[in-house]
Amino acid sequence: MLRLIIGSSYANTIVVDRAGKNKSIKRAIVSAQPGDTIRIKPGKYSEGNIMLEKPLVIIGENYPVLDGDHQYEIFTIHANHVTIQGLMFINIGVASINDLAAIKILDSKYLYIRNNRFENAFFGIHMSNSSQAWIENNTLQSNVKVEHQVGNGIHLWKCNHATISNNRIKGHRDGIYFEFVTNTLITGNRSEGNLRYGLHFMFSHNNEYRDNHFVNNGAGVAVMYTTGVKMINNTFEHNWGASSYGMLLKDIRDSHVKGNRFIQNSVGIFMEGSSRIEFTENTFSQNGYAVKLQASCDANNFNRNNFSGNTFDIATNGSLVLNKVNSNYWDRYEGYDLNKDNIGDIPYRPVSMYSMIVEEMPTAVLLWRSFLVFLLDRAEKAIPAITPENLKDDFPSMKPYDFDKAGK
């Protein structure tokens, strides 16, 4: 009762309906007081660019369609306390200079972008210089086939304290793109079939990525120049191609990669210039290369991970290796366990001789799967000569770890 009185006296609800009195969202916004709610009835609204500069709640009923006519950006928000919910955005304009977006947020705080649908948005949600935002349960899909005609799904620049959760992003350039974004939680999202990266961030420290699914993206996931990344229980799957990676780590430091699953990627993790990253309880399965560890990486620690069905377990391009790989499970391990403590008695060397040769002379890849390569790898196993002496697992696990059971 009290709420109702307060609601009616301090916050009005304006209904916008194609068939009713208020036909225009734009005019409704102009006439609304800060804190009002605008309810939009189903129908199609083509009103070009809509500026939003006061705190408002905009709620769509049954997904009214806001059409950008292949020409306009739809909402440009420059206000705190804005909610956008239940709308369907289509046909955002494509521009090469401006990053036109379905929802663009500038210098704002306390934003809720929930349950919206985006089809063929150039950029979906584009936020800069903002904080305290919740971007939840949105569905973004683009059907463009060329990279330069589509923008990123969720794009954040210089933001902090945001939560990006349970969104589904498909067919954009980058699914989720961060630059200078800090203290943000990214969880439960599914980024699939994007033309470039499923997730792409730079200079974005202390963010946490949890339970996300990155599937079948053009070049997988690329993260760069960042410290304090937490990657937990994500899945990187089917990122397959000549320059595609489950996850590309470039200059990443002091981070945790735990409980993730890397499945059927041409390269599970490619890392260069990265240090002090703890990789634990990850599963690497059926990748071309599970891990490509460039010699520029140091003090990384691979511990208690499962490696199975990968063409190459670990590849590296130098003989000096300052990283540790201990207590992992390797399906290729052929050693024995005399004292039955589940730890193999002889070390496992995850780097094959042939992968070293290919790193040295890429053309040698043409001998792949030949009898010669088979023999070379066998010989190297017996008498190690080329592969890095100290890159070995001294305590290989005899059995794969059961992470599902441990987690529950």
Binding positions for other proteins, rule: CB under 8 A: 240-242, 244, 266, 288-289, 311, 357-358, 360-373, 375
Please answer whether residues 73 and 49 qualify as being in contact, where contact means their C-beta atoms are separated by less than 8 angstroms: yes
Toward other proteins, which CB reaches closer, 169 or 293? 293
Toward other proteins, which CB reaches closer, 2 or 242? 242
Sign of CA pseudo-dihedral 249, 239, 213, 104: positive
CB atoms closer than 10 angstroms to residue 344: 21
Toward other proteins, which CB reaches closer, 276 or 332? 332
Question: What single-letter amino acid sits at 103?
Answer: I
> E-strand spans in 188-229?
190-192, 199-202, 208-210, 213-215, 220-227
Toward other proteins, which CB reaches closer, 340 or 369? 369
Instruction: Work out how close the CB of 291 gets to other proteins at its nearest, in angstroms, rounded to a whole number.
Output: 14
**H helix or E strand, kind and range, residue 378:** helix 371-382
Instruction: Work out how close the CB of 241 gets to other proteins at its nearest, in angstroms, rounded to a whole number.
Output: 5
Instruction: Work out how close the CB of 155 gets to other proteins at its nearest, in angstroms, rounded to a whole number.
Output: 28
Q: How far apart are CA 117 and CA 64, in angstroms?
A: 10
Toward other proteins, which CB reaches closer, 331 or 360? 360
Toward other proteins, which CB reaches closer, 10 or 368? 368
DSSP secondary structure, 240-294, as one string: -STT-EEEEEEEEEEEEEES-EEES-SEEEEEES-EEEEEES-EEES-SEEEEE-
Toward other proteins, which CB reaches closer, 28 or 263? 263
Instruction: Work out how close the CB of 369 gets to other proteins at its nearest, in angstroms, rounded to a whole number.
Output: 6
Instruction: Work out how close the CB of 407 gets to other proteins at its nearest, in angstroms, rounded to a whole number.
Output: 26
Instruction: Work out how close the CB of 358 gets to other proteins at its nearest, in angstroms, rounded to a whole number.
Output: 8
Instruction: Work out how close the CB of 380 gets to other proteins at its nearest, in angstroms, rounded to a whole number.
Output: 14
The structure tokens listed for 40 are 């939009």
Q: Which of the 8 DSSP states describes residue 29?
A: H
Instruction: Work out how close the CB of 66 gets to other proteins at its nearest, in angstroms, rounded to a whole number.
Output: 40
CB atoms closer than 10 angstroms to residue 52: 24
Q: How far apart are CA 294 and CA 285, in angstroms?
A: 20
Q: Give the bridge partners for 306, in sequence order.
A: 283, 329
Q: How far apart are CA 200 and CA 276, in angstroms?
A: 21
Token pair 């009103």: residue = 47
**H helix or E strand, kind and range, residue 187:** strand 185-187
Toward other proteins, which CB reaches closer, 32 or 353? 353
